[in-house]
Structure 1
Amino acid sequence: MEAVKRRRVRGDGVDLAVHEQGDRANPTVLLVHGYPDTHAVWDEVAERLAARFHVVRYDVRGAGASSRPFGAKHYAFEHLMADMRAVLDAAAPGRAVHLVGHDWGSIQGWEAVCTMPDRFASFTSISGPCLDHVAHWTRRSLGRPTPRGLRRAAAQGVRSWYIYFFQTPLLPEALWRAGFSRAFTRALEAGEGVPARAGHPARTLPRDGAAGVGLYRANMAARLRRPLDRRTGVPTQVIVPTRDLFVSPHLVGGLAERVPNLSLRTVRAGHWVPRSHPDAVARWIAEHAAGTTGGPLTAAGSRSLRRARVARDRRPFEGSLVVVTGAGGGIGRATALAFAGRGAEIVAADLDLAAARRTAELAGRAGPAGHAVRVDVGDAQAMEDFAKAVLHDHGVPDVVVNNAGIGMAGAFLDHTADDWRRILDVNLWGVLHGSRLFAAQMIERGQGGHLVNVASA
């Protein structure tokens, strides 16, 4: 594990506990935690990133080993942004960094990429929406109500119960100090499968929870009542945990209107996904950062041009594994080559192994090395073996294209029962086998995926 270096940085009237690991010559990733966490919620992710990046974390004001000013006014965005600038100036002076935020760290991140975009090469948001966008989304859902929009708005209202509770004077702080932290720790393990470990939840949790209530009181009501029309050109990746009990996945609706360089990742996980799925989170941060730059700051215009060029040049399926059945020719081969040309690693499956090998060879010329497999999609056991082999040799696919199909020509009465049985085995059961087996792998991995079923005459 990379050694962690600790130091104090003077923020906006507070002392901030800053933690760094990895080679400072590498691109910098700044990880910002949420409420009621400390920098330690990122331990597993930071360890995975430190081999390739200079990783910086800090306890935000009110948390961990940083100062705890008294009074909600000290937790307003203007002070949070001044603190972040101080950390950036100390840990990555003159460099554009890759910003990652979770929960309130992500809410702060949205504010940062909208108000000082030239400090950031990329932004990854996890379970913390832009407050301005939430307000606009809610007004759109209620302004032109539809049954679905009203249900979604009501569901988010239920998820946000604690926001209203935190506006209550004194009571939230009293509960944290009276022992609510123990209930929080138990709920985290029971509800999200995230067991307590050294550093998280922090020993300072009662004080952190009480102080951090100021984040909600200083910013929530004012921003939700009078939202700004915020936009950012920073390349932004939003990781959406589909089982988040606090942030509805539907809040990303309409976000592309305000974030033109936007990508979305879904993961079958709860709110504390940096703890429950650190491998996926670290990999996605690294992949997103790889599509941008994290070098010296330049003029805003040239930075925008460089970002646009990098985003254009980066192939959209780089790092993805794509399985295509019936890949020996026709639509299957064309599909496999299209994915390969966009950076995907291809597993070409076909009953004709020689044809599959030719497709894999062509795919390797356009992208990463391709792989050929002979399989009869109408054979249930063969498909079981195929799915297991793909998992063992290459991992869980991100996309599976069930394309294999057959047809028969001639008069209706000229075809035997075996002919019809074979058509059903390939064209119906082949799709069911591919969907069922690979969907199970995708669900088990917990990072989502895509099944594409092709029918053609």
Structure 2
Amino acid sequence: MRFGFFDVGDVRLHVASTGDPANPLIICLHGFPEYWAAWQEVMLELAGDFHVVAPDQRGFNLSSKPAGEEAYRAKHLVADVAALADQLSPGKPFILAGHDWGASIAYAYAFAHPDRLTRLVIANGVHPVCFQRAILQDAGQRRASQYFHKLRAAGAAERMVEDDFARTLRMIAGFSKTDWMTPEIEAHHRAAWARPGAMQAMLHWYNSSPVVVPRPDEVVTDAPLLSMEPDRARVRMPHLVIWGEADEALRPVCLGGLDRFAADLTVKKVAGAGHWILHEKPVEVAAIIRKFLEPATAGSDK
């Protein structure tokens, strides 16, 4: 792995990379509460054929942590990716991959910059309109998303840090099994969370999000994301979703209607894997991605 920093406007991103920079570029975006290493094992599997790059997104680990919720709105997070991509692959389209919150930003980038992407890869992440609809219409997904309230509440950062990050670790375990969380990996995560201002910055992602999560018995039938024009939420490039079927945070209903937004859609479901599929099944995830990226077979297995 190689490490460095990129200035993207007023923000500085810490970036990990591997593989030959002359090979096709894949930018990999992590989610909460992780950092670039969410993709590490997958990156190493793909390094022989691709230039694989994973930033710490703003607010996380070694990247800049601007103050205030406004700095973490999707438009700023997308701008970070756009500026990074323009430095790594100026004028040449690339492949974008995302997991969890990284998937949300990958979708937003794909909506805004379709000409910059050859492929979009999502691992246990959700299209924003499909996710919002699932939360409002499916009782199971609404229950699974109630943790949003805990992370958006006043004092959440202090509570997530207490007792050496005990709540943060319990939340990770609640999303799916964590056999992959060795003492070494846990120590690296704790170190990332302990960086000054990191936990508050990470939680700003939740507070700045337009996703509406009603209480279980609350009657809510509409939300801002459902008012998006369909064309603004369309995935115009070949699109792969890798889905660990044992995910406790994102239920299968979240995939409902995705084909209406993605004409060239491939969904690969992985039995026995959960939300942390990148850690649980990195070899299988990398193999699925590699097959999807082969020009002769891309998007053919649907």
Structure 1 letter corresponding to 2:243: V
Indicate how the Cα distance of structure 1 residues 188 and 173 shifts in structure 2: closer, same or farther if over 3 A, else same: closer
Residues 410-421 of structure 1: pairs in structure 2 closer than 5 A: none
Contact 2:59 2:66 in 1 (8 A): yes
Residues 31-180 of structure 1: pairs in structure 2 closer than 5 A: 31-138=28-135, 141=137, 153-169=138-154, 171-179=155-163
- TM-superposed CA distance for 1:276, in Å, is 0.8
Structure 2 letter corresponding to 1:255: L
Match of 2:254 in 1: 251
Return the structure number with greater helix share: 1
2:239 aligned with 1:236: yes
Match of 2:209 in 1: 219
Q: Provide the rounded CA distance (Å) in 2 between the counterparts of 1:187 and 1:167.
A: 14
Match of 2:193 in 1: 205
**Greater mean deviation of Cα atoms: 267-276 or 171-180:** 171-180
Indicate how the Cα distance of structure 1 residues 200 and 43 shifts in structure 2: closer, same or farther if over 3 A, else same: farther
TM-score by length of 2: 0.86
2:177 aligned with 1:191: yes
Contact 2:35 2:61 in 1 (8 A): yes
Identical positions, percent: 27
Structure 2 unaligned runs (5+)?
A: 214-221
Residue 209 of structure 2 aligns to a residue whose secondary structure is helix
Q: Provide the rounded CA distance (Å) in 1 between the counterparts of 2:269 and 2:100.
A: 16
Q: Provide the rounded CA distance (Å) in 2 between the counterparts of 1:200 and 1:288.
A: 31
Structure 1 letter corresponding to 2:153: T
Indicate how the Cα distance of structure 1 residues 175 and 277 shifts in structure 2: closer, same or farther if over 3 A, else same: same
TM-score by length of 1: 0.58
Contact 1:194 1:276 in 2 (8 A): yes
- TM-superposed CA distance for 1:200, in Å, is 4.4
Residues 342-381 of structure 1: pairs in structure 2 closer than 5 A: none
Residue 18 of structure 1 aligns to a residue whose secondary structure is strand
Structure 1 unaligned runs (5+)?
A: 142-152, 293-309, 318-457
Q: Provide the rounded CA distance (Å) in 1 between the counterparts of 2:127 and 2:188.
A: 26
2:8 aligned with 1:8: no
Q: Provide the rounded CA distance (Å) in 1 between the counterparts of 2:4 and 2:31.
A: 20
Contact 2:134 2:253 in 1 (8 A): no
Residue 10 of structure 2 aligns to a residue whose secondary structure is coil
- TM-superposed CA distance for 1:289, in Å, is 1.5
Aligned length, in residue pairs: 282
- TM-superposed CA distance for 1:180, in Å, is 5.7
Q: Deviations over 1:341-393 (max 9, x none)?
A: xxxxxxxxxxxxxxxxxxxxxxxxxxxxxxxxxxxxxxxxxxxxxxxxxxxxx
Indicate how the Cα distance of structure 1 residues 202 and 122 shifts in structure 2: closer, same or farther if over 3 A, else same: farther
How large is the Cα RMSD of the aligned pairs?
2.3
Contact 1:10 1:16 in 2 (8 A): yes
Structure 2 letter corresponding to 1:156: Q
Residue 125 of structure 2 aligns to a residue whose secondary structure is coil
- TM-superposed CA distance for 1:136, in Å, is 3.6
Residue 26 of structure 1 aligns to a residue whose secondary structure is coil
Residue 44 of structure 1 aligns to a residue whose secondary structure is helix
Contact 1:34 1:106 in 2 (8 A): yes
Q: Provide the rounded CA distance (Å) in 1 between the counterparts of 2:170 and 2:188.
A: 12
Give the structure with higher Rg (CA). Answer: 1
Q: Provide the rounded CA distance (Å) in 2 between the counterparts of 1:120 and 1:286.
A: 16
Match of 2:276 in 1: 272
Structure 2 letter corresponding to 1:205: W
Q: Deviations over 1:201-247 (max 9, x none)?
A: 25122453332111111123479821113112111111111111110
Contact 2:13 2:63 in 1 (8 A): yes
Q: Deviations over 1:284-310 (max 9, x none)?
A: 111111138xxxxxxxxxxxxxxxxx8
